[in-house]
Amino acid sequence: MTDILTRLAALLPPAALREAGPAYLEEPRGRWQGKALAVVAPGSVAEVAAVLRLCNETGTGVIPYGGGTGLVGGQLAEDGAPPVILSLERMRAVRSFDAEAGTMVVEAGAVLADIHAVAEAEGWIFPLTLASQGSARLGGLLATNAGGVNVIRYGNARDLVLGVEAVLADGTVVNTLSPLRKDNTGYDIRHLLIGSEGTLGVITAASLRLFPKPAATGAAMMVVESPEAALALLRMAKARIGDAISAFELMGKEGFLFLDEVGPETRQPFDPRPDWVCLVDVGMGAGGDPSGALEALFAEAFEAGLVSDGVIAQSEAQRAEFWTLRENIPAANRRIGAVSSHDISVPVAAIPRFIAEAPARIGAEGQFRLNCFGHMGDGNLHYNVFPMPGKSRADHDNQRSAIKRAVHDLVQELGGSVSAEHGVGRLKVDDLERYGDPGKLVAMRAIKAALDPRGILNPGAVLRG
């Protein structure tokens, strides 16, 4: 062990050696505590390769580390031999920017908000947008194929990537950074690495697809009485506004009550708090009129009895306020402390059925508060189970697995996924075994064994070690 520390210190410049402090070992919600043999932050692909060669040779586990914002324990190991944490934080350069083609090559340690800023300075956007963008780093976002609020329009993280540079377990550097639109020369290693959660290789850089910045944007919050009405509103919005819909979010009453409970500073437009609200965000090209389109949508939906109240943002500041409200819901959840959180997806049309049936399944375990919100346009809900007032998460520790099982069984019955956008990490390894396609698992295990025969890359994540 010390031998490895000595060898790491010999391989790397002093700036690459880090203290194994809490920043690398604590789960963002404080749920788990990781272990580390060492934390290293290489400054180049060659240094990443050197670290991996050493760890592969010595059979030392390596956890590739981004911003540490993951919610499924993919970035920290409680069990097993302490791993080397390989942080990409020092590799955050924008290697190139093609302002004409709308592509950029960025290193994996770049923080998402910084990537946004670089793209916007040139009149483009990189549309991956999620609550943790101020700290999440590109490598982790790609390793987990992150989703977020704009998937309905722009796709998941993988859809925004033209190529990657990565280092395999044995130190082999794979470079597919070419930003060509068409390149059919061999297997798509890019998509294999994206979403593999650091278990097949360490992504060190990526070519990103940028999109024209919408010239005109708008947003509205519309009150609907039920998930069925929300679904009908989504259909109506798609028919009227089509591809210009950048996000279609659903928020349930419990979330608004949580905001009142933990952070009365969040301004809420509706009083009393409504059962369900849809947040519709629209971006259009020059000459487009998002607010006009949202007003027309509201009028038609009101006429049809789908919506009972609504606010259309009158300024960019008000639009930002709507989004702050939306982003404050997960923050409030964190303060209250969920018994169990579920990042699930079902076919969009099945969302009302999921929302209708889940409470009874969970109710078999006792009384809980349910906060349901998420990316309705993609069929992706964050369905979180909270203790009743006066109780705490710890009071329900022995029920957690039964609750998860109840929710995931229902998801499976509806043809959904038990991990829509957060990944498998260590938290859902059992779920993958239970609900995953057996043939896919066979293929996954064969690929893992081929690319990481000693099992050093993020051991215990995704697949049992």
Site for its own copies in 362-381 (CB under 8 A): 375, 378-380
Binding segment toward its own copies, per CB under 8 A, in 19-27, 110-118, 177-185, 394-402: 177-185
Amino acid at 261: E
Q: How far is the CB of 120 from its own copies (least distance, A)?
A: 18
Q: Does 147 bind its own copies (CB under 8 A)?
A: yes
Binding segment toward its own copies, per CB under 8 A, in 62-70, 145-153, 253-261, 392-400: 145-153
Q: Does 196 bind its own copies (CB under 8 A)?
A: yes
Binding segment toward its own copies, per CB under 8 A, in 5-13, 15-23, 292-300, 342-350: 342-350
Binding segment toward its own copies, per CB under 8 A, in 235-243, 307-315, 321-329, 356-364: 235-243
Q: Does 285 bind its own copies (CB under 8 A)?
A: yes
**Interaction residues for its own copies, span 89-128 (CB under 8 A):** 98, 100-101
**Rounded Cα–Cα distance for residues 328 and 318 (Å):** 15
Q: Does 189 bind its own copies (CB under 8 A)?
A: yes
**Rounded Cα–Cα distance for residues 98 and 40 (Å):** 32
Q: Does 192 bind its own copies (CB under 8 A)?
A: yes
Distances (CA, A) of 111 to 69, 266, 317, 391, 416: 11, 26, 24, 37, 31
- The Cβ of residue 370 has, within 10 Å, a number of other Cβ atoms equal to 16
Q: Which residues of 7-18 are buried (b: 16+ CB within 10 A; e: fewer)?
A: bbeebbeeebeb
Kindly state the DSSP code that residue 35 receives in the 8-state scheme: -
Instruction: Locate all alpha helices (DSSP H) within 99-185, ordered by sequence.
Output: 112-121, 138-143, 151-154
Nearer to its own copies, 285 or 359 (CB): 285
| Pairing outcome for strands 276-284 and 369-375 | unpaired
Q: How far is the CB of 260 from its own copies (least distance, A)?
A: 30
CA proximity to 269, closest of 199, 326, 229: 326
Q: How far is the CB of 226 from its own copies (least distance, A)?
A: 18
**Rounded Cα–Cα distance for residues 10 and 431 (Å):** 41
- The Cβ of residue 362 has, within 10 Å, a number of other Cβ atoms equal to 24
| Identified binder of its own copies from the candidate list 19, 243, 261, 316, rule CB under 8 A | 243
In the sheet that 17-18 helps form, which strands lie side by side, from edge to edge? Answer: 17-18, 38-40, 84-87, 62-65
Nearer to its own copies, 195 or 459 (CB): 195
Nearer to its own copies, 266 or 419 (CB): 419
Q: How far apart are the two ends of the chain, measured CA to CA in Å?
A: 20
Binding mask 418-447 for its own copies (x = CB under 8 A): xxxxxxx---x--xx--xxx-xxxxxx-xx
Nearer to its own copies, 263 or 285 (CB): 285
Binding mask 27-66 for its own copies (x = CB under 8 A): ----------------------------------------
Q: How far is the CB of 421 from its own copies (least distance, A)?
A: 5
Amino acid at 103: T
For 77, list phi and psi in degrees, rounded to 5: -120, 120
Among all chains, which residue has been given the structure tokens 């947040």? 279
| Identified binder of its own copies from the candidate list 185, 315, 367, 398, rule CB under 8 A | 185
Q: Does 156 bind its own copies (CB under 8 A)?
A: yes
Q: How far is the CB of 422 from its own copies (least distance, A)?
A: 7
Nearer to its own copies, 75 or 417 (CB): 417
Burial class (CB in 10 A: 0-12, 13-18, 19+), 251: buried
Nearer to its own copies, 193 or 259 (CB): 193
CB 162, CB 179: distance < 8 Å: yes
Q: Does 281 bind its own copies (CB under 8 A)?
A: no
Nearer to its own copies, 184 or 315 (CB): 184
Burial class (CB in 10 A: 0-12, 13-18, 19+), 131: middle
* Coil/strand/helix, residue 166: strand
**Rounded Cα–Cα distance for residues 377 and 231 (Å):** 9
Tokens matching residue 385: 């189970």
Binding segment toward its own copies, per CB under 8 A, in 80-88, 222-230, 357-365, 416-424: 416-424
Nearer to its own copies, 25 or 193 (CB): 193
Q: Does 131 bind its own copies (CB under 8 A)?
A: no
Kindly state the DSSP code that residue 387 receives in the 8-state scheme: P
| Identified binder of its own copies from the candidate list 21, 212, 263, 363, rule CB under 8 A | 212
Nearer to its own copies, 5 or 173 (CB): 173
